[in-house]
Structure 1
Amino acid sequence: MSRLPELPQAIYKIAAAHSSLEPAFDPDYGDSKWMEAIGRMVLPAVIAEVISTKRPLAENIKGEVDKRLESDTLAEWCTQCELRAHVHCVPTFKESLNDPDVSCDILYTFVGAVHAASGVDGVRSWLGRLIDPAYEENNENAFKRAKIEPMTNGFSSQPPPPTSQPPPPPTSAPPPVPSGPSNSSVSLSYLNQVASQRRINVAWNTNMSGPSHNPQWTAECVLNGIVKGTGIAQSKQAAKEQAARSTVHMMGF
């Protein structure tokens, strides 16, 4: 069972307040509908991140994400996390909390709440085992290393051993290094370049949540009207860069 993690009281009160209570809009964290909207953007990105540790084929990632976003699956997660017990509503709405679509809304709301409190890492730690039963907390170290370690492309970082005699100088300039991307070199500009070459229209959906002194930006990369990648970071540009990398990986560019 993946119980709801501890939340700051201010965030918990907002997430737990059903719209039937007509709660006031909080200037820092919004209301439950606002958190639900954030959760709807955050959860697909977290699911994609967790299942990507299995290195599935790029064309299968979207199918794996969509399968986990089906209403029956999300309603079951809502049950396993015992989230309905946290919801405060007008008594006449109590029975409706068991409706599958309402259960999905509840789950998304608390995903938004956990994201407001602990960011993507908090959501991943909470739901990782539901997304993938083989997921382990030890994977957190791999995610953190991936954020801070430079890519080596499989080659040793040590310099090659010296030769007995230096090679003769080249008679002509060496050929240019191929421009194929690695995970560390993929950027927004690379995505724009590929999209331009393939005549793909690129658009962006961006949103900010959390207090102004510690914002969380969510960016969606939309190719020809379809969301292909999502990024979450503390700045708008970083979120777009992350979404660009996700899109390139998913599309196999």
Structure 2
Amino acid sequence: MVPPLPPLHGDLMLDVFTHRALTQGVLNDHTPHGNSDRLAQLGKSVLNTIVMYILFAERPMLSGEELKTKHDEILSNESMLAWLAAYDNELKKRVRLGGARGALDNPEEASFLFNSYVGAVCVQDGLQATTDWVSKLVKPEGQPPALVDDSQDNTLSTMSPASASLPAPPQAGTSQAAPPPYYPTPPQASTIPSGVPQGTLALFNQTCHQRGFSIEWVASANGPQHDPRWEVKCKVNDVERGFGLGRSQKLAKEIAAYDAYLYMQSIGWTLPQPEPTA
């Protein structure tokens, strides 16, 4: 029994289920993936990495030669054909083949289709979701490996080395100078700056939750529908403390969280108390 096939949507589904003989390798610049050829290359690399990652975690440990042998067995043409057969109604029969009838009986074409689907899942849902699906194909009884720990127990010591540069928040009750006025960072970059540590958003959310601060994210998009620019403002207790700009809402939110974290760190994670009412 194979795990459920992750559903695809929009242009991704159209490109995966249209045989490459019909598209003739034309790139669609209005999509993040371009075409099925690019998806297949991504999917092949992702599959190789996920399968090796699963085997690498096996205990007792496999030798280097054993890793290579088992990796090649799992991703053989026979395995690809078997997986396609298991998903026959959901995947293989939905492909628009044009004049290429019977093409998917060819191991190379079967591998191309499956790799394209894996690449599409990765683009749409992310690497962890792809890992969860593929790991159930490879080891149905095993638990999918976690690539990133997004739990609420994250601390600086469990993050990547880059995030160690973030100073730990001060203890509650520590006296601090009056907070400086907040000035949003000018929108410049459309990608996460190299100095933004992985896991900042999770750490920021956790710290605010522990201190009883409310967080509000205000997002808006500008530009053409196919290529928007997202702006996200981060409000802590109804006051703007961070700003982010990016090509996706998620990207802008990450930058806004980093901006807000640095500001809150600079004021010692203390907020002015409201004046008592008469």
2:95 corresponds to 1:87? yes
- CA pair 143-63 structure 1, distance change in 2 beyond 3 A: same
% identity of equivalent residues: 20
Task: Give the alignment partner of residue 62 of structure 2, picking from 57, 60, 75.
Answer: 57
Could you tell me which residue of structure 1 aligns to residue 18 of structure 2?
A: 17
Instruction: Name the CA shift for 1:65/1:25 in 2 (closer, same or farther; >3 Å).
Output: same
Distance 2:62 2:23 in 1: 45
Q: Report the 3-state secondary structure (helix = DSSP H, G, I; strand = E; otherwise coil) of the residue aligned with 1:114.
A: helix
CA distance in 2, matches of 1:43, 1:143: 14
Q: Is the 8 A contact 1:2 1:81 kept in 2?
A: no
Q: How does 1:111-126 map to 2 (within 5 A)?
A: 111-126=118-133
1:109 maps to which of 116, 127, 130: 116
User: In the alignment, which residue of structure 2 is the partner of 1:246?
Assistant: none
What is the TM-score of this pair, normalised by structure 2?
A: 0.48
* Superposed displacement of residue 58, structure 1: 4.1
Unaligned runs of 5+ in 2: 160-226, 228-245, 249-278
Q: CA deviation at 1:2?
A: 2.9
Distance 1:49 1:146 in 2: 19
Larger Rg: 2
Report how many residues are paired.
Answer: 151
CA drift of 1:70 comes to 1.0
- Report the 3-state secondary structure (helix = DSSP H, G, I; strand = E; otherwise coil) of the residue aligned with 1:6: coil
Moved over 4 A (4+): 146-149
> 1:62 Cα shift?
2.1
Q: Tell me the distance in 2 between the aligned counterparts of 1:17 and 1:67.
A: 28
Aligned to 1:150: 158
Amino acid at match of 2:38: W
Does the 8 Å CA contact 2:50/2:131 hold for their aligned counterparts?
Answer: yes
The equivalent residue for 1:3 is 4
Q: How does 1:201-220 map to 2 (within 5 A)?
A: 213=247
How far the C-alpha of 1:37 sits from its partner, in A, is 1.0
Deviations 1:70-127 (A, max 9, x none): 111111112223321231120x312121222211111111011111111221211222
Q: Secondary structure at the match of 1:54?
A: coil
Equivalent AA in structure 1 for residue 27 of structure 2:
F
Looking at structure 1, the residues matched to 84 and 54 of structure 2 have their Cα atoms a distance apart, in angstroms, of 19
Distance 1:134 1:143 in 2: 19
What amino acid is the match of 1:22? T
The structure with the largest helix share of the pair is: 1
Work out which of the residue numbers 23, 41, 45 in structure 2 matches 1:37.
41
RMSD between superposed Cα atoms in Å: 2.6
User: Relative contact order: is structure 1 or structure 2 higher (C-alpha 8 Å, sep ≥ 6)?
Assistant: 1
TM-score between both structures, scaled by the size of structure 1: 0.53
Query: Where does the alignment leave 5 or more consecutive residues of structure 1 unmatched?
Result: 152-210, 215-253
Structure 1 counterpart of 2:110, one-letter code: S
CA contact (8 A) 2:56 2:62 kept: no
Matches of 1:128 and 1:54, distance apart in 2: 13
Aligned AA for 1:36?
A
Task: Tell me, in whole angstroms, the C-alpha distance in 2 between the residues paired with 1:81 and 1:125.
Answer: 17
**C-alpha distance in structure 2 between counterparts of 1:99 and 1:26, whole Å:** 27
Distance 1:99 1:73 in 2: 13
From 86, 96, 100, the equivalent of 2:107 is: 100
